């Protein structure tokens, strides 16, 4: 809980200074790249390192080089899946509704993919339901490296126009799975419920590496859509997960919370979200 509180308070400090939240993923300006072989994008945990007093780690990452430096505050002491080395990560950001980046909207979640939407930023006026009632971070024992992007938006190069940032095919089968947690209108379908086990690695279709910090597993020639089934709150704690809100408040979220309440906590603007129940009013009793 101390770890996730520190990350949340660092984010509050970041927002106070820049008047916006960091992107889920951010592009690196070309003139800052160490070489043409570097990775042109970075992640929210790397962006947050200076506010966690680890600015020296950002230098190689900001130049497109994966530093692979261990950061203790990014690993939950109870997370037995991590080796406590390299860029291990136990925490994920609220990326909104599961689905293609093409359909991202600020009302569904505060962290946005700035590689695809460079001008879509979460600012002060977007906290319509209040910082104290909108989730920022959660634990996730399946989270991968803090400096690598889990997003198969470039699985097939012919689906992306690099000069014109839009998809050219209608199926929009790109998905984000790390370091992020999501919600869905069909719980148990695209995304497992809180603290429920995700699919085994052998069951997951993989993504192909493309330029830019993209993770990949053992490849079987398919895409990474099913990896979103692990993009949900999960922990090694019995009964629930530690979470942090936009105000910096932290709490233990019970795993049997109604999924509709979970969605209400994920969405910063209920009236404009994509939930089947947009008029749901979140009450304090819902969190008890």
- By mean pLDDT, which of 39-53, 118-132, 175-189 is the weakest? 175-189
Q: Specify the higher pLDDT residue, 162 or 134.
A: 134
Query: Quick check: 28 pLDDT over 90?
Result: no
Query: Quick check: 155 pLDDT over 70?
Result: no
Q: E-assigned strands of 44-134?
A: 91-97
Query: Quick check: 1 pLDDT over 50?
Result: yes
Supply φ then ψ for residue 182, to 5 degrees: -135, 170
Per-residue confidence (pLDDT) for residue 276, from 0 to 100? 72
Query: Quick check: 170 pLDDT over 90?
Result: no
- DSSP secondary structure string, 219-257? --SS-SGGGGGG-S---SSTTEEEEEETTS-EEEEETT-
The stretch 257-274 carries a mean pLDDT of: 87
Q: E-assigned strands of 76-168?
A: 91-97, 135-139, 150-151
How many whole angstroms separate alpha carbon 70 and alpha carbon 132?
30
How many whole angstroms separate alpha carbon 177 and alpha carbon 214?
11
**Segment 70-97, tens digit of pLDDT:** 999 999 999 998 999 999 999 999 999 9
The answer to whether the beta carbons of residues 185 and 260 sit under 8 Å apart is no
The stretch 252-273 carries a mean pLDDT of: 88
**Segment 191-241, tens digit of pLDDT:** 778 898 777 766 665 544 444 566 544 444 444 556 788 899 999 998 999
Per-residue confidence (pLDDT) for residue 13, from 0 to 100? 97
How many whole angstroms separate alpha carbon 75 and alpha carbon 69?
12
How many whole angstroms separate alpha carbon 216 and alpha carbon 149?
10
Per-residue confidence (pLDDT) for residue 101, from 0 to 100? 85
Per-residue confidence (pLDDT) for residue 108, from 0 to 100? 94
Other beta carbons within 10 angstroms of residue 6's beta carbon come to 18
- Spacing of C-alpha 236 from chain mean position: 19
Banded pLDDT at 156 (limits 50, 70, 90):
very low
The stretch 116-145 carries a mean pLDDT of: 93
Residues 6+ apart with CB under 8 A from 104: 96, 112, 113, 116, 117, 120
Per-residue confidence (pLDDT) for residue 202, from 0 to 100? 66
Per-residue confidence (pLDDT) for residue 190, from 0 to 100? 62
- Strand 41-43 to 250-254 pairing: unpaired
């Amino acid at each position: 809980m101390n770890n996730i509180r520190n990350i949340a308070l660092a984010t509050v400090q970041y927002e106070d200074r820049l008047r916006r939240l960091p992107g889920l993923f951010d592009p690196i300006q070309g003139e800052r790249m160490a070489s043409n072989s570097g990775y042109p994008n970075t992640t929210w945990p790397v962006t947050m390192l200076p506010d966690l007093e680890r600015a020296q780690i950002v230098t190689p990452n900001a130049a497109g080089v994966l530093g692979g430096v261990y950061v203790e505050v990014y690993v939950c002491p109870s997370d037995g899946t991590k080796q406590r080395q390299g860029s291990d990560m136990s925490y994920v950001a609220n990326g909104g509704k599961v689905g293609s980046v093409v359909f991202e909207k600020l009302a569904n979640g505060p962290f946005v993919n700035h590689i695809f939407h460079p001008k879509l930023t979460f600012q002060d006026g977007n906290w319509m339901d209040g910082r104290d009632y909108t989730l920022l971070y959660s634990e996730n024992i399946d989270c991968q490296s803090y400096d690598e992007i889990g997003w198969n938006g470039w699985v097939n190069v012919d689906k992306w126009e690099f000069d014109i940032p839009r998809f050219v095919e209608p199926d929009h089968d790109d998905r984000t799975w790390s370091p992020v947690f999501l919600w869905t209108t069909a719980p148990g379908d695209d995304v497992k419920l809180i603290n429920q086990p995700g699919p085994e690695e052998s069951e997951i279709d993989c993504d192909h590496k493309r330029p830019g910090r993209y993770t990949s597993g053992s490849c079987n020639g398919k895409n990474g859509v099913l990896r979103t089934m692990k993009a949900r709150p999960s922990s090694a704690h019995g009964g629930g997960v530690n979470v942090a809100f936009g105000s910096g408040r932290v709490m233990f979220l019970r795993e049997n919370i109604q999924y509709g309440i979970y969605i209400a906590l994920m969405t910063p603007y209920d009236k404009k979200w994509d939930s089947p129940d947009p008029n749901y009013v979140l009450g304090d009793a819902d969190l008890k």
